[in-house]
Amino acid sequence: MEVTIKIFRYNPEKDQRGNYVTYKVEAHENDRVLDVLEYIKGKIDGALSFRRSCAHGVCGSDAMRINGRNMLACKVLIRDVGANITVEPILGLPIKKDLIVDMEPFFDNYKKVLPYFINDSPLPADGRERLQSPEERARFDETTKCILCAACTTSCPSYWANGEYYGPAAIVNAHRFIFDSRDEAADQRLQILAETDGIARCHTAYNCTEACPREIKVTKAIGEVKMAIMTGKLD
């Protein structure tokens, strides 16, 4: 089938602003959008720039707006988006070139919520591992799936309006440690998220939940963190 694909292009060395370039290419309906982009880069226009790495929905490099919605280009089939496709960079982050955005502000916000295991208590008597029941592990299972692709954060209207907002991805990763029974810094993280640029900026638009390629219930995770802040309890 013939696919008409309109791609946002921006060259910082030449352009004052971005523009769209349309390509017509042959593709199979089971091809992914990433395959079409690879074809254009390889055969038509080598200057086209986009991020990709694993190409299997694991690394989260190729988050972009496809037909107006955040998706991973490697997970979307042509048959799911049709023969007329518009590909644009994700919103809310500075654009460096074509579909490549500067991820630094995203990772700066991510780092603010202490997204790592904190436990300064001595190890158990056997000196080996800190045990956890399957139920305790299941409590935060959902939020361990995040691949930091930024599809959720850059679909959030609160983040579009204010880049200081930590954003859904940071809160999801805070949730992963807040509800980990082995971690001891939940209070510290809840305090951080209770600040002005934290949880209060979530206005439940659900764009994040819809955009997540790992199908994490992002808004639910944010809701649980909100409740933990309100009640001071983690159950």
Partner 1 sequence: MGLKRDVSLSAGLRYRGPAAYLTYILHRIGGLGMGIFIAVHILASFVGGRFGGILNGIYENWAFQIFIFFCALFHAINGLRITILDLFPKLLDYHVEAIWIEWAVFIPLFGVSVFVIVSTALGG
| Binder among 107, 118, 194, 210 for partner 1 (CB under 8 A) | 210
**Hey, which residues between 157 and 196 contact partner 1 (CB under 8 A)?**
157, 160-161, 163
Decide if 175 contacts 193 (C-beta within 8 A): no
Smallest distance from partner 1 to CB 160, Å: 4
Smallest distance from partner 1 to CB 84, Å: 14
Decide if 50 contacts 64 (C-beta within 8 A): yes
Smallest distance from partner 1 to CB 89, Å: 9
Smallest distance from partner 1 to CB 100, Å: 9
Smallest distance from partner 1 to CB 145, Å: 17
Q: What is the maximum alpha-carbon separation in the chain?
A: 66
| Helix, strand or coil, per DSSP, at residue 114 | coil
CB-nearer residue toward partner 1: 129 or 235:
235
17 touches partner 1 by CB under 8 A: yes
| Binder among 57, 60, 105, 213 for partner 1 (CB under 8 A) | 105
Residue 85: strand pairing partners: 5
29 touches partner 1 by CB under 8 A: no
Structure tokens at 1: 């089938």
| Helix, strand or coil, per DSSP, at residue 194 | coil
| Binder among 1, 44, 54, 205 for partner 1 (CB under 8 A) | 205
| Helix, strand or coil, per DSSP, at residue 110 | helix
| Helix, strand or coil, per DSSP, at residue 218 | helix
97 touches partner 1 by CB under 8 A: yes
CA 111/CA 109 separation, integer angstroms: 5
CA 225/CA 77 separation, integer angstroms: 34
CA 40/CA 6 separation, integer angstroms: 11
| Binder among 23, 55, 206, 229 for partner 1 (CB under 8 A) | 206
**Contact set with partner 1 (CB under 8 A):** 10, 12-13, 17-18, 65, 67-69, 91-97, 102, 105, 155, 157, 160-161, 163, 203-207, 209-210, 217, 219-220, 223-224, 226-227
